Amino acid sequence: MSDNITVAGVSVDTRHWIGGRRVASAGTFTDHSPLDGSALGEIARGGPDEAAAAVAAAREAFPAWAATPRAERARILHAVADGVEKRIEELAIVETTDNGALLRSHRRGVMPRVAHNFRFFADWLLRLDHEDFETRGHTNHVSWDPAGPCVLITPWNAPLMLATWKVAPALAAGNTVVLKPAEWSPLTASLLADIAAEAGLPAGVLNVVQGYGSEIGDALTSHPDVRRISFTGSVPTARRIAASAAANLTPLSLELGGKSPLLVFADADLDLAVDLAVEQYDNAGQVCLAATRLLVEEPVAEEFTRRFTEKASALRQGDPRDEGTDIGPTIHPRQLDKIDGFVQRALAAGARAVIGGHRKDGQYYAPTLLTDVAQDSEIVQEEVFGPVLTLQTFAGEDEAVRLANDTRFGLAATVATGDRERAERVTARLVAGTVWVNCFFVRDLRAPFGGSRQSGVGREGGTWSFDFYCDLKNTVTAPEGWDQDHG
């Protein structure tokens, strides 16, 4: 078997990256493209041995990287960003081929954001500081000490962007990293290893291992030398990771699922509200933040539904490499089956499909809007992670807030209203890590990001990322007692 595959003209190494070199495994798994179901290649399938080797490499590299001056760490991270920018086109086409998201989005937004992740945390590192303060004449000095080897487990819906959202602050903080990408979309993580090495990142500081969670993931999350674990993905997998990490009391950062609401009040700009609702089909609905529950005030519900149906029906679904495509394929046949299972059970229970409600050729699912759904129904309560929205109506603010908060999740919420005071009242009562008012998916890395309830534990972004990836230390110094003759 060749160690390299060619994807859309780009050569990708299929082996792990451990301790600054490529490492093969005895076994492999097949990576398929959602574009047509074709096999892209055989990927090294790691297990406990590869996990142990990657953690050992990270542990060995940690002291020198932790001791590297902040300015030098920042310089190398900027060099990684430079490398990403030089290869945006390659990264974009490989990721589109591997996970099915729109090529135009990868080119114009996602891959530039990957580079920004490195630049932002490199720059934030240089300004990371806490003003000293006095306690009865004693000086308190707060510092962020690197924690050690970190295991980062990342999802398939935005593979490289979400991976670097974790990798960049972990490395900036002075930690070493073992990155395990999702087995459904592993290829750009391998390219990242090449880019980081070319940028001068020392061997062992970033390691990339591939495989299944049950085989290599458990070995990583239970390893006693791992000092931090960050995971983005599903609630069931998070529970498994938490149980695995519990024996060592390894700190966790978990960004999990969502069932976010979009609240449309009668005083909202309806055209804007419809645009926001249709935007929830982005990435074929495979977005944790997506406001999949449309809650619309009764007086405008009929008109909203008419305008939404008209706009959503005009979306073009097809090859994500085509500039005119709005919605690409579902990433994997198993995910397609899962989405359709949710929809068919909802229809059998009495829901009505205003649009969609069925599969299309290949790995495509028709953009779907379901009405006549009960609040306690599976389709309203559980994350589908596909192009499936529900629509419910409400009579006033209290009912809107009650419906919005009535799930086990709390990742995000969106509010459409023309009344500033109403916006302030409603957002104050919503249980969510992020609330957007008359907008959606405006993200700034200076802001905290994460979920409430079963949507996650902890926050990422700005200083919050460093708080997680570091051991915070407070040094208290007495004003007297120095040996004046010393030195």
Q: How far is CA 339 from CA 36, 90, 154, in A?
A: 18, 30, 21
What is the Cα–Cα distance from 451 to 486, expressed in whole angstroms? 52
What is the Cα–Cα distance from 203 to 200, expressed in whole angstroms? 9
In this structure, the number of other CB atoms found within 10 A of the CB of residue 63 comes to 13
The answer to whether the CB of 80 falls within 8 A of the CB of 196 is: yes
What is the Cα–Cα distance from 208 to 158, expressed in whole angstroms? 17
88-99 vs 111-127: helix crossing angle, rounded to 10: 120
CA-nearest of 461, 457, 412 to 433 is 412
> What is the layout of strands, in order, in the sheet containing 138-146?
133-135, 138-146, 470-477
255 classed as catalytic? yes
Active-site residue, selected from the candidate residues 95, 183, 255, 383 = 255
CA-nearest of 10, 169, 154, 183 to 80 is 169
Q: Is 442 exposed, middle or buried (0-12, 13-18, 19+ CB in 10 A)?
A: exposed
Dihedral class, residue 3 (left if φ above 0, else alpha if ψ from -120 to 50, else beta): alpha
Active-site residue, selected from the candidate residues 95, 183, 288, 383 = 288
131 classed as catalytic? no
The answer to whether the CB of 228 falls within 8 A of the CB of 253 is: yes
Chain-centre distance for alpha carbon 360: 27
CA-nearest of 172, 214, 219 to 53 is 219
Q: Which residues of 338-459 form beta strands (DSSP E)?
A: 352-355, 368-371, 388-394, 412-416, 434-437, 456-457
What is the Cα–Cα distance from 413 to 432, expressed in whole angstroms? 6
Known catalytic residues are 255, 288
